[in-house]
Chains A and B, each alone.
Chain A
Amino acid sequence: MVRIEVEGLTKRYGYTGSALALDSVSFEYDGAGAIGYLGPNGAGKTTTLKILTGLLRPTAGVARIDGIDVREHPKRALANVGAVIETPEPYPSLTVSESIEMVSEFRGGPIPNIAQEIGGLHEKLDLPPLDQRTGRLSKGQRQRVVIAAALVRNPSVIILDEPTNGLDPKERILIRNLLQELKKDHLILMSSHLMQEVTEICDQVIFINQGKLLLRDTVENVAARFQSRAVDVEFADSLPLDRLSKLGALVRTVTPLSDRRYRLAFDGTMATRARILSECVEIAPVVTYESASLALEDAYLSLMQANNGGLPPPPRAS
């Protein structure tokens, strides 16, 4: 059984419990796949993940992994979990290999295979030299080491808090490819600010803001529901703005992005979008025609705007 379940999860901070970080959040997932957990800073994402990994205790509600209450039986509940929360740091004077071995020993399993397993992780994650002390690693190297440690002994549930935070583009691609592979037979719950990353990795998404769960659905459904209301069109050659007047009432506004590229705002329907493309092709050869923003990004902004009565609140430390 691979299952994550949170039920009525509430978390209050402060001596008087005045700061409400999570407000009766509930969701559950069974089986393999990747779930993106999205929301602005301070929304309650990390708090949820910390409760799921035993780092925090809920004020009310329960978090279960594979049916086992994390608060009541953390050792049993976390037996099948690999987690990277915030910025973990292995003991700085232990080597890369020793740090991963230590996690492996805590999780258990046949010791003779450990060298082989670490070798596999070294290859997959392009780890730094295994005999290097972790205290001397760069942020990106250390992040890859802690991800390797989270994956050692192949836990079925993987919980990641902004896993590519601090990584360079090459490292992000490495992690993205790995997660795309892992989600085939693991249950991954990951928070992220990067909509592109979530779109590429996740099958389902949960939106949360101010401690409340706003939306839970598949990425496809969310994309369909929050169609982008603007497209970027790129012509093969330079094109004067007045040539686009032919689009008429199909578009609400036309914003030049360069002499060949324009952003066209419209009503968001697929029919209008298709007609705009036809018209553009009539005007001049079109090189690219794409949504001005990701569907998830639009969903995120719409949901936050509706929830806050305005734009997403400015980021604050979680």
Chain B
Amino acid sequence: MDVHRVPSDFAQWWTAFLRQWKFYIRTSRFLGLLVFVLIVTVAFTGVTLYLHDSGTSAADYLYGAAGEIGIFGIIIGAFIGGDAIAMDFGSGTGYFMLVLPVKRLVILLGRYAAAFVATLVLIVVYLVVPLLGGIYFWGVTGIPWVDLGESFLLAALYGLAVLSTAFFFSALFRSTAVSMVATILILFLGFLIIDSVVGTSLGYEPWFSLLYAGSVVGLPLVGQAHHTVQHTAIGAGRTLTTHLWYPYVWEGTLILLAYFVIFLVLSAVVYQYKESKG
């Protein structure tokens, strides 16, 4: 075989992407997530429309769906990307893939692209059902399309940021099961706790939190105050002070971009230097 006939990095990336995409959409994990997202979004839309108040605007209604992308995005991204790299070191996949004449970075980017498309499909499914409900009640012209488009782009960027983070954590582990569980716990519970302790209780803006940045997704539809302080009486003359934080749109966008780039680069570095010692 002529050495020079090995395909270009781009052609190999395309192969990695297509095969990984085929792999993802056939997994019970993806199909399970699809069913889960459908149940949640249909339930949300049904309940919201059942309780429909004519005073509610289409933007408020859609914000109800887009505003929850933060949590769902993390669940989706963690399940899709939680073992993306660990699979090469915890199972025999690496012995099949990493002995081929293809750069690890190319394999990683192919997998990343496939994971992103899979995540995007789930996000679209999550958003399209409430959108159809919105069109039913407010008509096509009643939908704030530009704001919704901006919100969707932010959701896509959020998906990239979550995947980069999930890929990074998956690169740290060798067992696919441990990697998946750890990624879900870190992304889901970890950021919830950080937001709650640092932001809500201590009153510091949790600008370093992925979940906090993810709350930017719904903001193009309905603006929120950057910082709100609430004092609640809890008896015996005492009050509980809580802080509510929303990022500015530019700020949330920058944080998501930072997560996307930094963790993707870190994933690539760890993957490049990780050895198949098992």
Q: Which residues of A contact B (CB under 8 A)?
A: 13, 50, 53-57, 66, 74-81, 83-91, 93-94, 98-99, 102-103, 105-109, 133, 146, 149, 153-156, 159
Contacts and interface: CB of A to CB of B under 8 A. Distances in A.
A102 B19 contact: yes
B87 to A, nearest CB: 9
A76 B19 contact: no
B1 A54 contact: no
Contact of A85 (B11, B12, B99): B99
Contact of A76 (B3, B22, B93, B275): B3
A88 B91 CA distance: 8
Contacts of B100: 78, 103, 106-107
B95 interface: yes
B92 A88 contact: yes
A93 B102 CA distance: 21
B223 interface: no
Contacts, number: 110
A222 to B, nearest CB: 29
A75 B275 CA distance: 16
A13 B102 contact: no
18 contacts: A53-B98, A55-B95, A78-B101, A80-B3, A81-B99, A83-B99, A86-B278, A88-B96, A89-B95, A94-B22, A102-B15, A105-B11, A106-B16, A106-B101, A107-B101, A108-B5, A109-B1, A154-B1
B1 A55 contact: no
A98 B20 CA distance: 11
A56 B276 contact: yes
B9 to A, nearest CB: 8
A105 B7 CA distance: 8
B96 A74 contact: no
B92 A86 contact: yes
A89 B102 contact: no
B170 to A, nearest CB: 16
B103 interface: yes
- Top 6 nearest A-B pairs by Cβ distance? A89-B92, A93-B26, A88-B95, A88-B96, A55-B276, A83-B99
A81 B101 contact: yes
Contacts of B6: 75-76, 79, 107-108
A55 B19 contact: no
Interface of B: 1, 3, 5-7, 11-12, 15-16, 19-20, 22-23, 26-27, 91-96, 98-103, 273, 275-278
A94 B93 contact: no
B19 A94 contact: yes
Contacts of B5: 108-109
A108 B19 CA distance: 15
A79 B101 contact: yes
Given A74-B101, A75-B101, A146 B1 contact: no
B1 A50 contact: no
B94 A55 contact: yes
B104 to A, nearest CB: 8
A106 B15 contact: yes
A133 to B, nearest CB: 8
Contacts of A56: 275-277
Contacts of B99: 53-55, 78, 81, 83, 85, 88, 159
A89 B93 contact: yes
Contacts of B27: 93
A99 B7 CA distance: 17
A102 B94 CA distance: 14
B101 A91 contact: no
B3 A79 contact: yes
B231 to A, nearest CB: 52
Contacts of B11: 105, 108
Given A53-B98, A105-B11, A146-B96, 4 more contacts: A85-B99, A86-B92, A98-B19, A133-B26
B92 to A, nearest CB: 3
Contacts of B3: 66, 76, 79-80
A131 to B, nearest CB: 13
